[in-house]
Structure 1
Amino acid sequence: MPTRLRTAAERGTILLTTLAVALVLSSPYVRADEPAPPLLTDGFGITVTDQPQWVDDQRRTFVFSVATDQVPTPTLLEGQEPGKHKVVVTLPSSYDPSARYPVQYYLHGHPDRPDSAWNRRVVEKATEGVPLITVQPNGSGRGWYSNWVNPGAAGPQNWETFHLDQLVPFVDANLNTIASREGRAIVGHSMGGFGAMHYAEHQPDLFHAVGSFSGGLDLRNSEIRAAITATLVNPASGTPTVNVDAVFGPPVWPFDGVWNAQSPAHHVGSLRGMKVALYTGNGGDLTVNPIQAVLENRARETALVTAANLTANGIPFHFADYGDGSGWAPGCTGKHAEEPCVQADMNHFVQLLAQGF
Structure 2
Amino acid sequence: MSIRFRTARKRGTCLFAALTAALALSSPEAKAAEAAPPQFTDGFGLVVTSKPRWVDENRRTFIFSVSTDQVPTPTLLDGQEPGRHAVVVTLPDDYSETTRNYPVQYYLHGHPDRPDAQWNQRVVEKATAGRDLITVQPNGSGRGWYSNWVNPGAAGPQNWETFHLEQVIPFVDANLRTKAAKADRAIVGHSMGGFGALHYAEHRPDLFGYAGSFSGGLDLRNSEMRAAITATLVNPASGTPTVNADAIFGPPIWPFDGIWNAQSPAHNVTSLRGMGVALYTGNGGDLTVNPIQAVFENRARETALVTAANLTAAGIGFHFSDYGDGSTWAPGCTGKHADEACVQADMNHFVGLFTRHA
* 1:195 paired to 2:205: no
The answer (yes or no) to whether the contact 1:233–1:243 under 8 Å persists in 2 is: no
Letter in 2 for 1:83: G
Where does 1:107-126 land on structure 2 (aligned, <5 Å)?
A: 107-126=108-127
Partner of residue 225, structure 1: 226
Letter in 1 for 2:131: V
Listed one character per residue, the Cα deviations across residues 101-142 of structure 1 (whole Å, up to 9, x for unaligned) are 000000000001000000000000000000000000000000
- Residue 182 of structure 1 and its aligned partner are, at CA, apart by 1.2
* 1:212 paired to 2:221: no
Partner of residue 13, structure 2: none
* 1:319 paired to 2:320: yes
Partner of residue 103, structure 2: 102
Partner of residue 276, structure 1: 277
Letter in 2 for 1:46: L
Letter in 1 for 2:274: G
Partner of residue 9, structure 2: none
**1:319 is paired with a residue of what secondary structure?**
strand
Aligned counterparts of 2:198 and 2:53: Cα–Cα separation in 1: 30
Relative to 1, partners in 2 of residues 1:237 and 1:249: Cα closer, same or farther, differing over 3 Å? farther
The answer (yes or no) to whether the contact 1:97–1:176 under 8 Å persists in 2 is: no
Letter in 2 for 1:283: G
Taking only the aligned residue pairs, the percentage that are identical comes to 80
**2:35 is paired with a residue of what secondary structure?**
coil
Aligned counterparts of 2:70 and 2:33: Cα–Cα separation in 1: 38
Partner of residue 91, structure 1: 91
Relative to 1, partners in 2 of residues 1:236 and 1:201: Cα closer, same or farther, differing over 3 Å? farther
Partner of residue 17, structure 1: none
- Cα RMSD, aligned residues only: 2.0
The answer (yes or no) to whether the contact 2:235–2:241 under 8 Å persists in 1 is: no
Partner of residue 15, structure 1: none
Aligned counterparts of 1:63 and 1:236: Cα–Cα separation in 2: 29
**1:233 is paired with a residue of what secondary structure?**
coil
Listed one character per residue, the Cα deviations across residues 120-173 of structure 1 (whole Å, up to 9, x for unaligned) are 000000000000000000000000000000000000000000000111000000
Aligned counterparts of 2:98 and 2:260: Cα–Cα separation in 1: 43
Bigger drift between 53-62 and 91-100 goes to: 91-100
The answer (yes or no) to whether the contact 2:287–2:294 under 8 Å persists in 1 is: yes
Q: How many residues align?
A: 333
Partner of residue 80, structure 2: 80
The answer (yes or no) to whether the contact 1:74–1:140 under 8 Å persists in 2 is: yes
Partner of residue 11, structure 1: none
Partner of residue 151, structure 1: 152
Aligned counterparts of 1:300 and 1:320: Cα–Cα separation in 2: 11
- Residue 34 of structure 1 and its aligned partner are, at CA, apart by 3.7
Where does 1:1-357 land on structure 2 (aligned, <5 Å)?
A: 31=31, 34-95=34-95, 96-235=97-236, 241-356=242-357
The answer (yes or no) to whether the contact 2:221–2:264 under 8 Å persists in 1 is: yes
Unaligned runs of 5+ in 1: 1-21
TM norm structure 2: 0.90
Letter in 1 for 2:118: A
Letter in 2 for 1:139: G
**1:193 is paired with a residue of what secondary structure?**
helix
Relative to 1, partners in 2 of residues 1:148 and 1:48: Cα closer, same or farther, differing over 3 Å? same
The answer (yes or no) to whether the contact 1:111–1:142 under 8 Å persists in 2 is: yes
The answer (yes or no) to whether the contact 1:188–1:213 under 8 Å persists in 2 is: yes
Aligned counterparts of 1:232 and 1:319: Cα–Cα separation in 2: 31
Aligned counterparts of 1:91 and 1:154: Cα–Cα separation in 2: 34
The answer (yes or no) to whether the contact 1:142–1:237 under 8 Å persists in 2 is: no
Listed one character per residue, the Cα deviations across residues 74-117 of structure 1 (whole Å, up to 9, x for unaligned) are 01111110000000000011224411000000000000100000
Relative to 1, partners in 2 of residues 1:236 and 1:186: Cα closer, same or farther, differing over 3 Å? farther
Listed one character per residue, the Cα deviations across residues 244-295 of structure 1 (whole Å, up to 9, x for unaligned) are 1110111100110110000000000000000000000000000000000000
- Residue 336 of structure 1 and its aligned partner are, at CA, apart by 0.2
Relative to 1, partners in 2 of residues 1:355 and 1:97: Cα closer, same or farther, differing over 3 Å? same
Unaligned runs of 5+ in 2: 1-21
Aligned counterparts of 1:240 and 1:89: Cα–Cα separation in 2: 33
